[in-house]
Amino acid sequence: MKTDETESAIICGGSMSSSIAAARSLGRKGVHVHGVAFDRNHPLLRSKYCRETSVVSSPRDDYASFVASLSRIAESDEVHTMLPMNEYGIFTLMRNRAEFSDALDLVVPRTSSFDIVWDRKRLLEVADDCGVPTPENQLLTEWSQSPEPAVVKSRYSMLSENNRLQYPGVEFVEPNTTIDVEATMAEMGHEPLVQRYVPDGTEVGFFTVCDEGEPIVEFQHRRIRSTSYFGGASAHREAIRDPAVRELGVKILRELNWNGPAMVEFRRDGETGEYKLMEINPRFWGSLPLGIHAGIDFPWVYYQLSHGHAPEKTTEYDVGTRSSYLRGEVQHLLSLWLDDSPGFIDKPSITRTVYEQCLSIPSSNFDILDSTDIAPFAWDFLQSASRLLRGETN
C-alpha cells in the first residue's frame, strides 16, 4: 500500500487515443504520469504530461519480459496506481494480481467476475439468466449451417500462447455457408464462438467506473463511423442518453458485482428493436476522449478511487458532444476503397462519406489533436504519413 501522498500513475499506451487522453487528464491535475509503451515511436511518449517514460517489450512478442518490466516500474516508491488502458494491461494485472496488488493500489474486478467477462460464452449465459438480451450464439462445433449471416469470433478477449498474447480475428459467414470447423479452430487456436449477425448495426456503449457493482459515473455513446466500414474501433461517435441502454448496462454490471472501469457494448437488432449485448471490455476504452470532452473525467474518478477517496457520483454529461479519431477517419475511407466486406453488409458511398466527414469536422472534438499538447498529434501524423508512403494502410 503506497502512501496517500503518492501522486504518480502508470499509463500503458496500447490504445493510442485513450492513453493520451488519460495522461492529459491526470497530468493537468498534477499527477506524475509514467507513460509506458511497446514502441519508442508511440505518440503517448511525446505528451508533455508524461513526466517519465519507459519502452518495454511487447506482450505480443515476449509476455514474460513485458510482465517483468511492468513489475519493476510498479515497485517504484513513487508509483501509486496503474490505469488498465488495454487488454494487455488488465490481463496482466488480473493474472498477476497478488504481485501487482502488493505494489499498487488498484481498482479492478474480482477474479471470478473478470473470468466471466473474459470468456464471452460465459458472459452471454450470465446475461441471458439476468434478462439482458443477447444474439443467438453457440460454440463452433455446435453450430449448424444457417440461412442467416453469422460472425465467428474468439471465445476469449485475448489468447495467451507460447509466451505471447494475441487477438484472434473475426470471420464473417455468409448465409447458408458451411464453416470448415477444423481449419477455423486451427487458425484461431481454440474453439471460437459463432453468433448470429445482428442486423441494423447501430452500435452503442454504456461506460462507467463501478465501485462494488454500483456505477460512480455513467456515459453513453453511439458509434457513427469505425476504422473500417464494416467494423473495428470507432473513428467518430456521439454522446447519447437512452434509458434502455442504461438499464441493461447497470443490470449486467450489478449482476457481476463489477469493480473498476467497464464498457458494455450493445448492438441494436433492426428486426426486434432490442439492444443485444456484444461484450464487456473490462478496462478503459478506445473512445475515452469523447466521455472526457462531454464532461465525465473517467481517469480522475479511477485515480480518486485508487486513493480510497469517494468521487462525486454523476450521470450528467453533454449529450450531442462528438469526437473524432482523425487517423481512424482516414482508415475508414481507405477501407471503402480497398476492402471487400460480406455481401450482407452494404458498402457506403465514398463521396457521401467524405461529405459527411467534412460536415462533422466543425462540430467535433478530436481524440489526439490538442493545442496545449500538440506533439502527440504531430508525431502520429508523421508516422501515419510515412506508413502511407510505404503502402501500409493500418
Q: Please give the pLDDT value at position 56.
A: 95
Report, as an integer, the average pLDDT of 75-96. 93
Q: How many CB atoms within 10 Å of residue 311?
A: 17
pLDDT digits (tens, 9 = 90+) for 328-362: 999 999 999 998 878 888 899 999 999 999 999 88
Query: Which candidate, 265, 232, 260, places its Cα nearest to that of 332?
Result: 232
Range name among 29-33, 151-155, 285-289, 387-391 with the lowest pLDDT average: 387-391
* Residue 105 CA to its chain's centroid (Å): 22
Distance of alpha carbon 337 from alpha carbon 319, whole angstroms: 32
Phi-psi region of 308 (alpha: psi -120 to 50; beta: other; left: phi over 0): left
Q: What is the pLDDT of residue 3?
A: 52
Nearest to 341 by CA among 169, 152, 173, 168: 173
Beta bridge partner(s), residue 237: 223, 323
So what's the pLDDT on residue 339? 85
Amino acid letter, 249 = G
pLDDT at 387: 73
Give the separation between CA 372 and CA 238, rounded to whole angstroms. 23
The CATH homologous superfamily for domain 200-389 is ATP-grasp fold, B domain (3.30.470.20)
In this prediction, residue 51 carries a pLDDT of: 95
Show the cell assigned to 111: 477474479
The residue among 389 and 165 whose pLDDT is bigger is 165
Using CA atoms, how far apart are residues 301 and 378, in angstroms rounded to an integer?
Answer: 29
Residue ranges of domains in the chain = 8-107, 136-196, 200-389
CA proximity to 12, closest of 20, 4, 1, 2 = 20
Handedness of CA 134, 168, 34, 44 (dihedral sign): negative
Q: Which CATH number is 8-107 given?
A: 3.40.50
Identify the pLDDT of residue 302: 97
Rank 134-148, 175-189, 288-302, 336-350 by mean pLDDT and report only the highest: 288-302
- The confidence band for 394, taking pLDDT boundaries of 50, 70 and 90, is low
pLDDT category at 1 given cuts 50, 70, 90 is very low
Distance from C-alpha of 370 to C-alpha of 55, rounded to nearest angstrom:
24
- Ranking 6-15, 82-91, 304-313 by mean pLDDT, the lowest is 6-15
Q: What is the average pLDDT value for the chain, to the nearest integer?
A: 92
Contact yes or no for 294/310 (Cβ under 8 A)? no
Percent of the chain with pLDDT over 90: 81
Joined together, the cell numbers standing for residue 274 give 432490442
Q: What is the mean pLDDT of residues 23-32?
A: 96
Phi and psi for 54 in degrees, rounded to 5? -145, 145
Q: Which residue, among 282, 265, 252, has the nearest Cα to 111 in the 3D structure?
A: 282
- State what percent of residues in the chain have pLDDT above 70: 97
Residue 73: per-residue pLDDT: 95
* Distance, C-alpha 384 to centroid of its chain: 21
Contacts of 281 (CB under 8 A, 6+ apart): 157, 262, 263, 265
By the 8 A CB rule, do 37 and 85 touch? no
